Amino acid sequence: MNTIYKLSFAILLLAGFTSCDSFLDRKPLAQVTNDSYFNSETNANSATIGMYRTMTSSFTYGQTMVIVPEFSAGHVSHASIFPEYENFKTHNLAATNPWVANAWQGIYSTINAANNIIAQVPEMPENTISEEKRAQFIGEAKFVRALNYFFLVRAFGRVPLKLTATTEDEDVAIPQSEPSVVYEQLVKDLTESITELPEAHETAEATKGRATKNAAQALLAKVYLYQASITGEYALAANAATEIINSENFQLVDNFGSIWSSENTAESIFELQFDDQTTNPLASVSNDNASMLFYVDASILSLFEEGDKRQDFSIFRGSNDRYYMGKFPNATPPSQNLPIIRLAEILLIHAEAEARASNSVSDLAFSSLQKVLTRAGVTKEKSEFTTVDSFVKFIQEEKERELLFEGETWFDFCRTELALEKYETLANENGFVYPIPTAQINLRPDILVQNPGY
């Protein structure tokens, strides 16, 4: 068995051809074999759709990659107080935790799907695919690979950086790379994908649900912000965010709740698509119904000041005197889309990066913050922030309010080390990353090294 969980061509085919997707013209599964998989533009497109569909799994963005960091941030609880979830909340994780293992396996499955496309599409004969589509599919795969490695490096720190497709009979065992090396690869993938991806796809839904130049540029801004914790080069993040803001391709919607009560809004830069057949696993268990597993701690209400319009939508009171995540309203059926990158986050990234790069609470930095606050109905004056440090801390706390239940707060607080101040049960910075799954280490103890403290 391989150290990195492998996704076979057959599974990838199933993901691409049996999932419902309105921007995919599907062929019957029986018409495609492994030998002829990348023999046409249609099949290459299907492989790309299959790659996106792996991210709808409950092991990845469908549940684990969102809810686990929310437990770590202290935002949610489990209805039955299952320790495998609650241990994230108390920062008392064991390397045998099943959700650590699930996330690792699920994410590497998506990465392998992306690696297959990056390896196979360039080898397709000229008469089987247009150069425009060849570049597009490779660019989409690099974006998805970067998105998933971005989660891995934040969640686990040193991870195996596998950039080639894994076959079923391959004995894969590669050492972990330092975070700095992973971030360098993320920048490379995203920089290349910006040149390869289109501005838009055939439909508005596909444009939001598939990678575009803007999506890659936005993710690059976010990657640069985290990389700057190592390099100190915050100007890169500020400049990348500025390009998205100045493009005017996206606008903050007036009604904060409409980002989730509707789909693919003007604010959304990249949004994972779910529907009645490809349902959202987290939405089905996060609402006030018989399937409920996750609810919100009432203490989270204190994050918002009086008059903040986001509170009433983000947190709602249901039965049994419990509060629930308002950002998953479409639960019957659970067809809730998941916005992964949106303009409000890019504005907050710009506000922080610009202040750090200029070493001042500049007009540019404050303007980006103010746009998000104004939409929320919150008033702040620039004069209230007397130092860059106080400004940056406020932005971190503002991100928590704005991005609540979107799986970001925990990683952001660890990036700035604010987590040590926020969580009493977090003993030291070793807890900023999760343990490498025991099952993976047991497979190749000569290759994988456990994170300190586990």
Q: State pLDDT tens for residues 202-251.
A: 888 889 999 999 999 999 999 999 999 999 999 999 999 999 999 999 99
Give the lowest-confidence range in 3-12, 228-237, 283-292, 398-407.
Answer: 3-12
Q: Is residue 13 part of a domain?
A: yes
> At 187, is the pLDDT very low, low, confident or very high (cuts 50, 70, 90)?
very high
**Longest Cα pair distance anywhere in the chain, in angstroms?**
66
Tell me what the mean pLDDT of segment 152-180 comes to: 88
- State residue 11's pLDDT score: 40
Q: Which two tokens stand for residue 1?
A: 């068995």
Q: Is residue 73 part of a domain?
A: yes
Distance CA(170)–CA(2), nearest Å, equals: 8
Cα angle: 99, vertex 100, 101; to 5 degrees: 90
Q: What is the CA radius of gyration of the chain?
A: 21
Q: Which two tokens stand for residue 367?
A: 């303007």
Interstrand relation of 76-78 and 294-296 (parallel, antiparallel or unpaired): antiparallel
Q: Is the pLDDT of residue 402 over 70?
A: yes
Distance CA(107)–CA(95), nearest Å, equals: 17
Tell me what the mean pLDDT of segment 79-84 comes to: 90
In DSSP terms, which residues pair with 176 in a beta bridge? 160
Q: Is residue 388 part of a domain?
A: no
Tell me what the mean pLDDT of segment 129-150 comes to: 98
Q: Is residue 271 part of a domain?
A: no
| pLDDT 10s digits, 319-375 | 888 999 999 998 888 999 999 999 999 999 999 999 999 999 999 999 999 999 999
- State residue 36's pLDDT score: 63
CATH value at residue 163 = 1.25.40.390
Distance CA(80)–CA(204), nearest Å, equals: 41
Tell me what the mean pLDDT of segment 113-120 comes to: 96
Q: Report in angstroms the alpha-carbon separations of 417 from 157, 158, 265, 426.
A: 15, 18, 33, 11
- State residue 3's pLDDT score: 39
Q: Which of 289, 376, 277 minimizes the C-alpha distance to 328?
A: 289
- CB proximity list for 345: less than 8 A, separation 6 or greater: 222, 399, 402, 403, 408
Beta-carbon count within 10 A of 79 CB: 14
Q: Determine what percent of the chain is predicted with pLDDT higher than 70.
A: 91
Q: Is residue 365 part of a domain?
A: no
- CB proximity list for 401: less than 8 A, separation 6 or greater: 303, 304, 308, 310, 314, 376
Q: Is residue 197 part of a domain?
A: no
Residue range of the domain that includes 47 = 1-174
Angle between helices 409-416 and 64-72 (to 10 degrees): 50
Distance CA(156)–CA(411), nearest Å, equals: 11
What is the number of structural domains in the chain?
1
Identity of residue 155: A
Beta-carbon count within 10 A of 289 CB: 14
> φ, ψ for residue 363 (rounded to 5)?
-60, -40
Tell me what the mean pLDDT of segment 81-91 comes to: 93
- State residue 331's pLDDT score: 82
Q: Which two tokens stand for residue 80?
A: 């039955």
- State residue 206's pLDDT score: 85
> φ, ψ for residue 448 (rounded to 5)?
-95, 135
Q: Is residue 91 part of a domain?
A: yes
Q: Is residue 382 part of a domain?
A: no
